[in-house]
Structure 1
Amino acid sequence: MQIGLLEAGHAAEIIRAEHGDYRDMFTRILEPHGLSFRAWDVEGMQFPESVHDAEGWLISGSRHGVYEDHPFIPPLEEFIRAAYDAGIPLVGICFGHQIVAQALGGRVEKFAGGWSVGSTAYTIEGRPITLNAWHQDQVLIPPETAQTVGCSPFCAHAALIYNDRILTLQPHPEFDRGIIADMIAHRGSGIVPDPILVDATARLDRPTDGPDMAARIARFFKERR
């Protein structure tokens, strides 16, 4: 099954050198489940001609906020609405989670409670699951079409499902221990408060359930609709 990866941003150069870009991270966790990828750099204004150019779509993370004024955000929102109307499965991760919510009528803000970084315990679809997080922005009010299926004490709307057409996650199943460790070491200082980075470093060896969530994402793409 071919999935179109909409790259809403790119990993930092120092992260790419060691771990690859988002397309590499998603390929590693999802290709074993029978998914292949073709990427469009939507941050660079490269968009598919049609929502039918792939069998499903995945929107990556980004350093940008969905509420910021960037040229790629309005056409990406239009694409999301078109994919939803066409019933083509779509998955959003972090920024992708937030831009889908905004495009379909929800509200996203820089969370007053601060940052979530590193290994984090969630309840998703009734199951405890641990995934790596890296965000301050959050979906504060989901769209009316969304059902909240995942949360943590810090993030009330960590996973959303939209009428079995769209699945979105605030945490990063594609971020393994090495990626988070390098982000803490090379990207966090001066952006994320030091006590949060220290706490996240202490949790680096906590096992995460990225492979299980990758399997869930693959099942979502392959579900008959």
Structure 2
Amino acid sequence: MEKKKRFAVLLCAEDSDYVKKKYGGYFGVFVSMLGEEGESWDVYRVSLGEFPEDGEIDGYDGFVVTGSCHDAHSNDSWICKLVNLLKRLDSMQKKVLGICFGHQILSRALGGKTGRAANGWDIGLRTVDLLPSKSLSSLQIPSLLTVIECHRDEVWELPPSAEVVARSKKTGVEMFKCGDHIMGIQGHPEYTKDILIHLIDRLLQRNLIQDCHAAEAKATMEACEPDQEPWKKLCKDFLKA
């Protein structure tokens, strides 16, 4: 009998009331995108100090590191602990998929550099250009994909062992891979438009973005749809291959 695959979401964000009510929190959003029948999915709320025990790590086939309102380049105690965990997962050749903050913290853990984006906030729908890559060519997905973005930080410098696999006009490192076990995505393939609209309103309330940012982001979402299915295929194929 085939062993049941086990995955863990390392949750770096606090759930909004809206996402909790509609999707069962961000954990629910990720499981709905990536989960399949017969798998086991757990969540560790790492931003609240909840980490897997040393003896638990080897039991997982893969990990997903989520987005966050925190800075991947800061030295909060849980962020430093997460960096050390990611270094360990890399040394164990565990599959790790990093999204937004997760993408940036993965880069940092493996020797790259992150910080504030030179071009400021990137919010809304963005077209990403997938570069020719052996690891993606077998998937038969379009080389241009739209994805929902919501970030003001970015990867400045890649880890020594990494390759860029996607870029956009606004961000030089939209995706990177290290070997077959590490992949970071700057955008949010798991987001739906309604999640982003509620997030934009929260950012406005906290004075983190200006009205012009919000209006511009909402306008991009009226123009087209995110390519959710190709992103889902790309993420699932990476995590479970």
Pair in the same fold by TM > 0.5: yes
Provide the residue aligned with 1:151 in structure 2: 167
Q: Find the aligned partners of 1:52 and 1:188 in 2 and give their Cα distance.
A: 41
Alignment of 1:22-171 (within 5 A): 22-32=26-36, 36-50=40-54, 51-126=57-132, 127-171=143-187
Q: Note closer, same or farther for the CA distance 1:35–1:132 as it changes in structure 2 (3 Å cut).
A: farther
Q: Secondary structure of 2:127's match? A: strand
Residue ranges of structure 2 left out of the alignment (5+ in a row): 133-142
Residue ranges of structure 1 left out of the alignment (5+ in a row): none
Q: Find the aligned partners of 2:68 and 2:38 in 1 and give their Cα distance.
A: 25
Contact 1:33 1:215 (8 Å CA) reproduced: no
Fraction of identical pairs, as percent: 25
TM-score by length of 1: 0.93
Is residue 2:33 matched to residue 1:16?
no
Cα shift readout 1:140-179 (whole Å, capped 9, x = no counterpart): 1111111000110100001010011101100001111111
Q: Note closer, same or farther for the CA distance 1:114–1:103 as it changes in structure 2 (3 Å cut).
A: same
Contact 1:8 1:62 (8 Å CA) reproduced: yes
Q: Find the aligned partners of 1:19 and 1:66 in 2 and give their Cα distance.
A: 25
1:99 positional shift: 0.4
1:186 positional shift: 3.3
Contact 1:15 1:183 (8 Å CA) reproduced: no
1:32 positional shift: 4.3
Contact 1:119 1:208 (8 Å CA) reproduced: yes
Amino acid at match of 2:53: E
Q: Find the aligned partners of 1:39 and 1:12 in 2 and give their Cα distance.
A: 16
Amino acid at match of 1:104: L
- Supply the RMSD in Å over aligned alpha carbons: 1.7
Q: Secondary structure of 1:53's match? A: coil
Amino acid at match of 1:199: E
Cα shift readout 1:104-143 (whole Å, capped 9, x = no counterpart): 1111011131100011110124410000000000001111
The structure having more radius of gyration, on CA atoms, is 2
Q: Secondary structure of 2:58's match? A: helix
Provide the residue aligned with 2:233 in structure 1: 215
